[in-house]
Amino acid sequence: MTATIRALSNSGTDPHWQVKEDLAAAYRLVHRLGLDDSIYTHISARLPGGHDRFLINPYGMRFEEVKASNLVTVDIDGAVIDDPLGLGINPAGFTIHSAIHSARPDVVCVLHTHTVAGVAVSCQQDGLLPLNQWSMQFTDRIAYHTYEGIALDLDERQRLIADLGDKMVFMLRNHGLLTCGRSVAEAFKLMHNLERSCRAQLAIQSAGAAIVPPPPGVPQKTAGQYQKIYDKLEAGDRPDIEWEAFKRMLERTDPDYRT
């Protein structure tokens, strides 16, 4: 198993290609876990070596069709620089992503979803509640943005940036979920846990039973514990065995994501 993990981690000598592989993996995993929305929503990733080049999916392709080789390269305004299939991108889809990438050089990846659970919780006045271990990791770490309609107006970008601030997790009211990451892996794992938190919250609420709240201070403690783990992974202090496990799952079912 160790040899397999090492082989997958070092699969690309070109750092640009490695980002492409990881981004394609995130697209496939979002589909595999049922978090995609037809051809809509996006995952974008900043290319190494600069702050003005980004990767995103070709317009019209479903997430299970995305490969490392067919990702589109765009600049901060969404202008197409390299488009292997000639399909272009959805300009409206890049509005939110371009806002965050332009203001947050620490963010490599932006992942946005429209899931039933995520949309439902985004419509609740109190948003995500610290009801369980998954959701407690987001205590005091979620930003909220009021819905302004489909993201077609570029002037909304300044309000998106202001509302997000320095946080990595964003709940777009009446719309959906968004996570940022210092790597594709971090953005994906945050979304995986955020989505499960929303599903759990809806299940708890629909059960109608009395809810046991966590003791005072425990949600904040739990969030800090999670943050230390993410920080160590992003600093390279420990291998990201969870991300590698997800990619091994794709090797069995979607090995062409790397092509």
The pLDDT value recorded for residue 95 is 86
First-to-last C-alpha distance (Å) of the chain: 23
Q: Would you say residue 1 has pLDDT above 60?
A: no
Give the single-character DSSP code of 44. E
Radius of gyration of the chain (CA): 18
Residue 215 neighbours by CB distance under 10 Å? 8
The pLDDT value recorded for residue 50 is 67
* Domain coverage including residue 114: 2-258
User: What pTM was computed for the model?
Assistant: 0.93
Q: Average per-residue pLDDT in the chain?
A: 92
**Structural domains in the chain (count):** 1
Distances (CA, A) of 211 to 129, 135, 204: 11, 14, 8
Q: Would you say residue 133 has pLDDT above 70?
A: yes
Q: Tell me, what amino acid is at 245?
A: A
How are beta strands 142-145 and 169-172 bridged, if at all? parallel
Query: At 58, which CATH number?
Result: 3.40.225.10
The pLDDT value recorded for residue 90 is 87
Regarding predicted confidence, which is higher, 151 or 184?
184
User: Of 41, 38, 201, 209, whose CA–CA distance to 117 is shortest?
Assistant: 201
Percentage of residues in the chain having pLDDT higher than 70: 95
